[in-house]
Amino acid sequence: MSDIATRVYNHNFKIDPIVRSLIDTDFYKLLMCQSVHRNRPDTNVVFSLINRTKSIPLARLIDEGELREQLDHARSRTLTRGESTWLRGNTFYGKRQMFSPTFMEWFENLRLPPYELERKGDQYELTFEGKWPEVMLWEIPALAILMELRSRAVLATMGKFELQVLYARAMTRLWEKIERLRRIDGLKIADFGTRRRHSFLWQDWCVQAMIEGLGDAFIGTSNCRIAMRRDIEAIGTNAHELPMVYSALADTDADLRQAPYRVLADWHEEHEGNLRIILPDTYGTEGFLKNAPDWLAGWTGIRIDSGDPATGAETAIRWWKERGEDPTRKLIIFSDGLDVEKIEELHAKFAGRVKVSFGWGTLLTNDFRGLVPNDALAPFSLVCKAVSADGRPTVKLSDNPNKAMGPSDEVARYKRVFDVGAQERLEVIV
Amino acid sequence: MSDIATRVYNHNFKIDPIVRSLIDTDFYKLLMCQSVHRNRPDTNVVFSLINRTKSIPLARLIDEGELREQLDHARSRTLTRGESTWLRGNTFYGKRQMFSPTFMEWFENLRLPPYELERKGDQYELTFEGKWPEVMLWEIPALAILMELRSRAVLATMGKFELQVLYARAMTRLWEKIERLRRIDGLKIADFGTRRRHSFLWQDWCVQAMIEGLGDAFIGTSNCRIAMRRDIEAIGTNAHELPMVYSALADTDADLRQAPYRVLADWHEEHEGNLRIILPDTYGTEGFLKNAPDWLAGWTGIRIDSGDPATGAETAIRWWKERGEDPTRKLIIFSDGLDVEKIEELHAKFAGRVKVSFGWGTLLTNDFRGLVPNDALAPFSLVCKAVSADGRPTVKLSDNPNKAMGPSDEVARYKRVFDVGAQERLEVIV
């Protein structure tokens, strides 16, 4: 058992690496990467890190030299032999050889591409530019590095026993959550908390606590490295970046309207079963489902990642019924801003009506709210997104205007093209 | 990351010893031992372990073989060279050579004497018989062994993460207590929790937390081994066993009446300053002080170890005034059943009127109340006392009839001799 507090206290190494492996990343990144590598290998993209919580002055908290060291260390990682073996030999979602030999050969030779870092006031501008399959792999490590350096900056001011008690409190809190979740009959829940985790060691602890505390109700983690270390399932499907980039590349409004479906058509060819999960909210769930081709209704399920989750789930159920599908055989994955109360509520509301599962993120792996003065360890809203593709800006609308991204004229155009009406503005928790 | 060597080492002990050293005991035991070794070396005594909390079936919880192993291991301990150096070279209460060369030579050759162990129903009868200076050293290790074996019996039923969270909760609880104590201006507090500690490692953790959390307000620990390891003061003076044995040896009622003062006369010769602390409650504080010789009023302070502590302190203050002493220059040490609320209350009431200090015991080193089902780790009232001396029974009355000990006819005789009137019955917490 690692003594996390002691470890944190002992961080006087030249560098204590935050990202220790190329697969210390979300599983869906690798699935998407394979798809992009196959379908759009030459697209040029720019990914950019955006701190939505401006009140947290990252550039004042985090030393630029240390940030560069961590980013450079991540760039020094290549796939190890054991990791390659695991990816090649493992069963993912019941399927062997999820990753093709062509992809694996490419991945085995990959290093993360260069980054651009500049301080702008109290924030950092961190951007990644290059071929899509390479650049996209920066998202998760870049977020994890920034999140953990911020944690470390705060922890560096604390005494040894204060640290131990801090982790004692965080452990107690998580365990109390697990004890509540244990009471939910038929729960299925996964760890989706890599990107905004408090730290690598803490995420690893959380996963182990979920394994012991929840048994079969804990279905796995999105983090490949931890899935491998702890011998559990790697979980994930696809994300907004696919429709965002495909849409940016569309030449006309008509093309644009079809872009999100084209993404899923490519995915349909590559994956089956539990990997056929629709993420409908990139440009508004309502319009997306209304205009969707019938074959999409045959997919296994839907992931609800923005807007009011109960509303999103009701929309999906209604849509399946309209398309002649039986909702009780469909899967809804909730993954936006979850904590125990919300999980209990959604499970009570939808279990039985559909198959329900949860991707629990930041409030699993980074709930340090209220544990230090000024709430200096509270999680915050950091994202790393594709901002352009082949020189054209990307746009995301989602079901919550507070999560929208992109130049305002393009946002307006997308709203028109995708026929997005009035949207409810919801606070972005994490 | 597992430290394999440590793991292998841990799993290969023949036993995981509870008492690892002959000085894993209370400092006052060594002081008293030196006094007894000088003044009453040939007295034969019987010490006996008594579980006042009959609802805890020690003999069902604790395997007899394991208990014997632990007791035998304690018997295998002799003073190490480093321990001897520490006792000989250290300054205790500002004085060098607290322990005489004669005593040290004897102590360096000592092993704990044999024990008698028998199961009686759900309890163990554990007795120690022999020369007083040897037998008396069993009290603290015997208690610590029983307490920790009971903890281990409960912990053995728990999972790895349940265990970690249990300690996380206990740490959080202690730290919250420390944060409250930190607010008490001028606090002086010591660890008196060896005998009924949850475990050795936990006591050691508690002491370290007190060091970091309280700074100078934490004046030391009664545990010699931990004082040595953590380089802090060893704290303690004398206890009930001295008047109990001296009294048992008295031939007449008149002798008996003088016995407690004879103890302190011997002590007066041997010690000065902060070691001249009266423990007045063995046969009732009121009568003891009323009949005390004047030279006792010149002593440094008083320890209040039973009865209502505020009442005891008022009695002491009144007595000092009657004897023409200035209470503001006197020290009152509270040491009975303390927890934070009681410490806050007594400090608020007496700071300024006298010098106040606290010996915090069981609820410092064993507050696991409410942390596991059926409160199976709650501390309980286990004592190990001299029950006879040279064949005569000992008696303790104290200021709380629930703490009285001895054959009932002798208790009646002592009450008469010491003129003990009505006493308030108080629940014994720990």
Structure tokens at A398: 């989602």
Strands B382-389 and B44-51, by their bridges, are antiparallel
Of A159, A165, A172, the CB nearest to B165: A172
Q: Is the pLDDT of residue A190 over 50?
A: yes
Contact status, residue B312 vs residue B424, Cβ threshold 8 Å = no
Confidence at residue B13, expressed as pLDDT on a 0 to 100 scale: 62
Contact status, residue A423 vs residue A401, Cβ threshold 8 Å = yes
Taking the C-alpha atoms of residue A209 and residue A333, their distance in angstroms, rounded to an integer, is: 22
Confidence at residue A5, expressed as pLDDT on a 0 to 100 scale: 65
DSSP state of A177: H
For residue A358, list its beta bridge partners: A189, A334
Q: Consecutive 10-residue runs of chain B (430 residues): their mean pLDDT? A: 59 77 97 97 97 94 95 96 93 91 96 97 97 98 97 88 90 96 98 96 95 97 97 95 97 97 95 94 95 96 96 97 98 97 98 98 97 95 96 95 93 94 82
Q: Give the closest residue to A260 by CA, choosing from A237, A282, A238, A290.
A: A282
Confidence at residue B387, expressed as pLDDT on a 0 to 100 scale: 97
**A233 Cβ contact list (under 8 Å, min separation 6):** A92, A190, A219, A220, A221, A227
| A390 band by pLDDT with thresholds 50, 70 and 90 | very high
Number of neighbouring beta carbons within 10 Å of residue A10? 11
Taking the C-alpha atoms of residue A248 and residue A330, their distance in angstroms, rounded to an integer, is: 31
List of chain A residues whose C-beta atoms are within 8 Å of the C-beta of residue B168: 167-169, 171-172, 175
Report how many Cβ contacts below 8 Å link chain A to chain B.
46
**A105 Cβ contact list (under 8 Å, min separation 6):** none
| Average pLDDT of the segment spanning A410-422 | 93
Higher pLDDT: B63 or A6? It is: B63
Q: Give the closest residue to A223 by CA, choosing from A140, A346, A133.
A: A140
Residues A208, B161: C-beta atoms closer than 8 Å: yes
Q: Which residue has the tokens 């079936």?
A: B57
Distance of CA B205 to the CA centre of its chain: 19
Residues B1, A2: C-beta atoms closer than 8 Å: yes
B179 part of contact set with chain A, CB < 8 Å: no
Contact status, residue A333 vs residue A280, Cβ threshold 8 Å = no
Work out the angle at residue B182's Cα, subtended by the Cα atoms of residues B316 and B162, and round it to the nearest 5 degrees: 110
Taking the C-alpha atoms of residue A27 and residue B4, their distance in angstroms, rounded to an integer, is: 30
CA within 13 Å, CB half, A276: 16
| A16 band by pLDDT with thresholds 50, 70 and 90 | confident
**B46 Cβ contact list (under 8 Å, min separation 6):** B127, B128, B129, B135, B386, B387, B388
Taking the C-alpha atoms of residue A221 and residue A232, their distance in angstroms, rounded to an integer, is: 7
| Average pLDDT of the segment spanning A299-325 | 97
A158 part of contact set with chain B, CB < 8 Å: no
Q: Is the pLDDT of residue A155 over 60?
A: yes
Burial annotation A374-399 (CB, 10 A radius, 16+ → b, else e): eebbbbbbbbbbbbbbeeebbbbbbb
DSSP letters spanning B118-161:
EEETTEEEEEEEEEHHHHGGGHHHHHHHHHHHHHHHHHTTS-HH
Confidence at residue B12, expressed as pLDDT on a 0 to 100 scale: 59
A93: left (phi over 0), alpha (psi -120 to 50) or beta: left
Nearest-CA residue of chain B relative to A206? B161
**Lowest-confidence segment of A40-49, A308-317, B332-341, B416-425 by average pLDDT:** B416-425
| A120 band by pLDDT with thresholds 50, 70 and 90 | very high
Question: Which domains, ranges and CATH numbers included, belong to chain B?
Answer: 14-156+384-392 (3.20.140.10), 164-365 (3.20.140.10)
| Complex ipTM value | 0.73
Contact status, residue A254 vs residue A369, Cβ threshold 8 Å = no
| Average pLDDT of the segment spanning A88-116 | 94
Identify the burial level of A156 via C-beta atoms within 10 angstroms of its C-beta, where 0-12 means exposed, 13-18 middle and 19 or more buried: exposed
Contact status, residue A336 vs residue A279, Cβ threshold 8 Å = no
Number of neighbouring beta carbons within 10 Å of residue B105? 10
Confidence at residue B8, expressed as pLDDT on a 0 to 100 scale: 63
Distance of CA B108 to the CA centre of its chain: 23
Structure tokens at A283: 């440009």
Residues A172, B168: C-beta atoms closer than 8 Å: yes
Of B159, B162, B168, the CB nearest to A168: B168
Contact status, residue B309 vs residue B342, Cβ threshold 8 Å = yes
Q: Residue B282 in 3-state DSSP?
A: coil
Q: Residue B80 in 3-state DSSP?
A: coil
CA distances for B140 relative to B107, B306, B396, angstroms: 16, 19, 18
A17 part of contact set with chain B, CB < 8 Å: no
B172 part of contact set with chain A, CB < 8 Å: yes
B10 part of contact set with chain A, CB < 8 Å: no
Contact status, residue A391 vs residue A44, Cβ threshold 8 Å = yes
Contact status, residue B382 vs residue B143, Cβ threshold 8 Å = yes
Number of neighbouring beta carbons within 10 Å of residue B158? 13
B50 part of contact set with chain A, CB < 8 Å: no
Distance from CA of B297 to the nearest CA of A (A): 42
DSSP letters spanning A284-306:
-HHHHHHT--HHHHTSSEEEE-S
Distance of CA A386 to the CA centre of its chain: 14
The counts of H helices and E strands in chain B are: 19, 13
Structure tokens at A326: 């039986």
List of chain A residues whose C-beta atoms are within 8 Å of the C-beta of residue B159: 212
